[in-house]
Amino acid sequence: MTLDMGLAPMALSATTFNAGDKVRVTVDFKYTVEADATVHLYVAPYYTNILGKHLVDSCVGRSDVTLPATATPLDKTATVDFTLVPKAQSGIEDGTYGLAVWVRTSVSTSDPWSIPRPSAVDNQDSVLLVSGNPSSGGIGDTLTSIMPMLMMVMMMGMIMPMMQGMGGGSEE
Amino acid sequence: MKTLELNLGVIKPLQAESSSYIRGWYLDPQTGQSVYFDPDTQNFYTMQGGIYLPQGYMNTTPKQVPVTIGDKLKITISYQYSGPAITGALERFCIGVFGTFGFNETLVGEITRNLPASSTLQPYTDSYTFTIPNNVGSDWDDIYCKIYGGSPGVPQTIFGYENALIIAGLTPTVTGFTISDFVKV
């Protein structure tokens, strides 16, 4: 009797973070390279809609990783940090996000799904649960949203009596 | 061992070169192109858009040779010579980066050559073997060779190939790339 087993990477479990938290991501990989090299490790949360995956640009993190030359595949573990910049600072909104980590040999602002493709990429959907942004709908937000309408009403209130006055003069 | 061959054409002794050409226009027998010779700079020029441009010495490579660190690359040159005996002419073999501001020589090899007197053109070949070093750049893909100097001396004759090499193995190959953990710090 034989026991036939297959090993597959475990899916990451969803974890809740607060806006403003700093997150450290660990990646494992094997590599070969003819000469010592430095690669750039990127990380960012992403969201998905009908147009595909989109990075939250304000939360991209990067670290540089040195790879000593090796002709045979060598195991490597590396880490990269990123900050969940709060929405109030043009950052991330509360919600559920995927986590993407990718490797490029040159510095680039392109996302990992664009051409030129990165040397390696891993992304997992719905593993970042972001909360803790200040709730919207406070007195400040309400005032901000109705301010244009208030201004228009006030202007109308000033203009209408003036127009009525002009109309009266022309009848004489 | 990877190989590349370059043909420098016909080499003339310096005295013959200076007396052969006077200032003026000539027809290049190889290309049919009109070229202008300036005895002050000892250079041929082509006219493009009303501007005299020095005739280029870099050419489209007939083949691209992939090399990586530790590989040996043998570059062979050939040329013909007739004239008085010349001692100490230098054959220079270069790998480097060709750009807007000329050729940046990153790997250089030189061989000293004596050319015997001959009244008819005699063929010569020579070669130099480079070992691709650990610090090779991914843009070290151009090569050129020249022969110059000696006594009584040959005029500098240059010939090169652009993008003749493909430097392989400098980009890491990454496999099994997975996120293993993520935590708040």
Q: In this complex, how many residue pairs, one in chain A and one in chain B, have their CB atoms less than 8 Å apart?
A: 97
Alpha carbons A20 and B2: distance in angstroms, whole number:
56
- The total of other beta-carbon atoms located within 10 Å of residue B46's CB is 16
Percent pLDDT > 70 in chain B is 85
Looking at chain A, which residue has its C-alpha nearest residue B169?
Answer: A34
State the pLDDT at residue A1. 56
CATH number, domain of B110, equals: 2.60.40.10
The arithmetic mean of pLDDT across residues A9-25, rounded, is 89
- B170 to A35: CB separation less than 8 angstroms, yes or no: yes
Q: Which of A6-20, A75-89, B16-30 has the highest mean pLDDT?
A: A75-89
pLDDT higher at B154 or B7: B154
State the pLDDT at residue B48. 64
Are B184 and A81 in contact, with CB atoms under 8 Å apart?
Answer: no
CATH of domain A15-131: 2.60.40
- Which residues from chain B sit within 8 angstroms of residue A73, using beta carbons? 175
- The total of other beta-carbon atoms located within 10 Å of residue A145's CB is 11
pLDDT higher at B180 or B15: B180
Q: Is B167 helix (H, G, I), strand (E, B) or coil?
A: strand
Rounded to the nearest angstrom, the minimum Cα separation between A111 and chain B is 17
Residue A140 pLDDT > 50, yes or no?
A: yes
- B180 to A28: CB separation less than 8 angstroms, yes or no: yes
Task: Pick the range with the lowest mean pLDDT from A125-134, B38-47, B97-106.
Answer: B38-47
Residue B47 lies in a domain: no
Q: Who among B69, B173, B178 is closest to A31 (CB)?
A: B173
State the pLDDT at residue A161. 78
ipTM computed for the complex: 0.75
pLDDT higher at A96 or A148: A96
pLDDT higher at A61 or B120: A61
The arithmetic mean of pLDDT across residues B18-47, rounded, is 72
Q: Which residues of A82-110 are buried (b: 16+ CB within 10 A; e: fewer)?
A: bbbbbbeeebbebebbbbbbbbbbeeeee
pLDDT digits (tens, 9 = 90+) for A43-97: 999 999 988 999 999 999 999 999 998 989 999 999 999 999 999 999 999 999 9
Residue B37 lies in a domain: no
Q: Which residue range is the domain that position B91 belongs to?
A: 2-20+57-167
pLDDT higher at B128 or B15: B128
Best mutation target among B67, B132, B139, B177 (most A Cβ atoms within 10 Å) is: B177
C-alpha distances in Å from residue B30, one per residue of A32, B13, B96, B158 = 47, 21, 27, 16
State the pLDDT at residue A125. 93
Domains of chain B: total: 1
Looking at chain B, which residue has its C-alpha nearest residue A122?
Answer: B178
Residue B79 pLDDT > 90, yes or no?
A: no
Looking at chain A, which residue has its C-alpha nearest residue B172?
Answer: A33
- Which residues from chain B sit within 8 angstroms of residue A104, using beta carbons? none
Rounded to the nearest angstrom, the minimum Cα separation between B51 and chain A is 39
Best mutation target among B179, B181, B184 (most A Cβ atoms within 10 Å) is: B179
Cβ-count burial of A158 within 10 angstroms (0-12 exposed, 13-18 middle, 19+ buried)? exposed
**Helix (H) / strand (E) containing B173:** strand B173-184
State the pLDDT at residue B57. 77
- A81 to B185: CB separation less than 8 angstroms, yes or no: yes
3-state secondary structure string, A42-53? EEEEEEEECCEE
pLDDT digits (tens, 9 = 90+) for B127-141: 999 999 988 888 999
- B181 to A25: CB separation less than 8 angstroms, yes or no: yes
Residue B117 lies in a domain: yes
Task: Pick the range with the lowest mean pLDDT from A154-168, B12-26, B65-79.
Answer: B12-26
- Which residues from chain B sit within 8 angstroms of residue A99, using beta carbons? 179, 182
